[in-house]
Amino acid sequence: MARGIVIFRAAAAVAACLTPSAAAHAAGIGMLDMQPDGHGGQTYTLPVQMLLVMAGLTFLPALLLTTTAFTRIIIVLSLLRQALGLTQTPPNQVLIGLALFLTMFVMSPVFSRIGSDALQPLLENRISATEAIDKAQVPLREFMVKQTRREDLGLFVKMAGGETYSTARDVPFRILVPAFVTSELKSGFQIGFLIFLPFLVIDIVVAAVIMSLGMMLLSPISVSLPLKLALFVLVNGWTLVIGSLAEGFMR
């Protein structure tokens, strides 16, 4: 009896979900219909478009990591925390939030161009979705090409078959994206190395002084940590690091 009730409820739920679709199809709307647009393409109904948009949203994290300034920023901030000798301060949530907003600040000119050249005309039905995608690629490609090293781009072009391109802006995204990410990783570690140097000197000096005084039981970290924090605050370290990161993308 209980199983019959469950089956009945499931059938009723399926029928309730199918009823709007059947009614729309009977009315000639066709919720999942695809019709030729007369130009060799296809036009999709609103439910299909919404489905495609929702599926595309799953790729946003990957796009954020691989096509924006987020990778370099989060690497530098993480290495800065390690250089200070702090494991959980600032917390990961704070670092990621700071990296996200700093990424939005750095990428704001690119996003503005995408909005004015692609998104706004698409919303006003002046261009198609395909044309909007093509126009949105232009400012993003220019940003990525500007930040990508030639040797990294050449490596991936060679690995892709060695096809020649007239300019770097003609390189397809399947080659440009990994080259850009590789360049960003290298830049992030280079900046992190420079940040580590002054704090490493403090650690070495403190360790040498403690050893010369014969204070074997005193941990050098307990002495060097407040000194590193004091130095970082005195030189206004957060402003220097964040300002240098932002300026590095705007040159």
Phi, then psi, of 68 in degrees rounded to 5: -130, -175
pLDDT at 189: 92
Q: 65-95: per-residue pLDDT in tens?
A: 888 889 999 999 999 988 888 878 888 898 9
Q: What is the DSSP letter of 41?
A: S
Please check the confidence at residue 187 and state whether its pLDDT lies above 50: yes
Q: C-alpha 89: how far from its chain's center?
A: 23
CA dist 202 to 149, 205, 230, Å?
A: 33, 5, 11
| 130 vs 233, higher pLDDT | 233
Q: What is the pLDDT of residue 45?
A: 57
170: enclosing H helix or E strand: none
Q: Give pLDDT, residue 84.
A: 85
List the Cα angle 150/155/157 in 5-degree steps. 90
pLDDT at 24: 37
Question: What pLDDT does 42 receive?
Answer: 53
Domain residue spans in the chain?
68-250
Could you tell me the sign of the dihedral formed by the alpha carbons of 69, 73, 74, 79, in that order?
Answer: positive
In the predicted model, is pLDDT for residue 179 greater than 70? yes
pLDDT at 17 over 50: no
Contacts of residue 34, Cβ cutoff 8 Å, sequence gap at least 6: 42, 43, 44, 45, 48
34 DSSP β-pair partners? 44
Residue 156 · residue 178 · CB < 8 Å: yes
Can you give the pLDDT at residue 76? 92
The 10s digit of each residue's pLDDT in 46-65 is 566 667 667 767 777 777 78
Q: What is the pLDDT of residues 89-116, one digit of tens each?
A: 888 898 999 999 998 998 888 888 888 8
Average pLDDT of the segment spanning 213-235: 81
pLDDT band at 139 (very low <50, low <70, confident <90, very high): confident
Residue 161: enclosing H or E segment and its boundaries? none
pLDDT digits (tens, 9 = 90+) for 18-46: 333 333 333 333 444 444 444 444 555 55
Query: Up-side HSE of residue 231: CA atoms within 13 Å toward CB?
Result: 17
Name every residue whose Cβ is closer than 8 Å to that of residue 157 and which is 6 or more positions away in sequence: 163, 165, 171, 175
- What is residue 241's three-state secondary structure? helix
Q: Evaluate if residue 7 carries a pLDDT over 80.
A: no
What average pLDDT does the structure give for the chain? Answer: 76
